[in-house]
Amino acid sequence: MDKTQSKPWLVPEYLTETEVATVLGRSRDWFRQNRPKLEREGFPRIDGLIGLTCRQDVLAWIKRRRRVADVTEAEARENAKGDASGSVAGVDWSKL
């Protein structure tokens, strides 16, 4: 048994092809076939020394590709204030 398998709390910093495919929600065969295209789009390459792909680089690539931004804390507070006053985004819904 591999030492990392005996420690379920240990999250590897480098991933195999199968693990990267799983993170992407795809099969290993799909990932192998599409990796060149993904790398042209900035997907991280295999680390030459380690021979695996850095997990944090994969996650950063995914985050950069997001199209919808998270609500910031300031926006959440503003939305909460709007909900309490009956006005959201400058519209007083209680008067409509």
pLDDT tens readout for residues 44-80: 999 999 999 999 999 999 999 988 877 777 777 777 7
Arithmetic mean of pLDDT, 14-39: 98
What is the Cα–Cα distance from 43 to 10, expressed in whole angstroms? Answer: 24
The per-residue pLDDT for 82 is 59
Name beta bridge partners: 15. Answer: 53
Q: Tell me if 35 sits within 8 A of 43, measured CB to CB.
A: yes
14: number of Cβ within 10 Å: 17
pTM, entire model: 0.65
> Rounded mean pLDDT of the chain?
84
Give the tokens for residue 50.
């380690």
Report, in angstroms and rounded to the nearest whole number, the Rg of the chain calculated over CA atoms.
Answer: 21
Does residue 28 surpass a pLDDT of 60?
A: yes
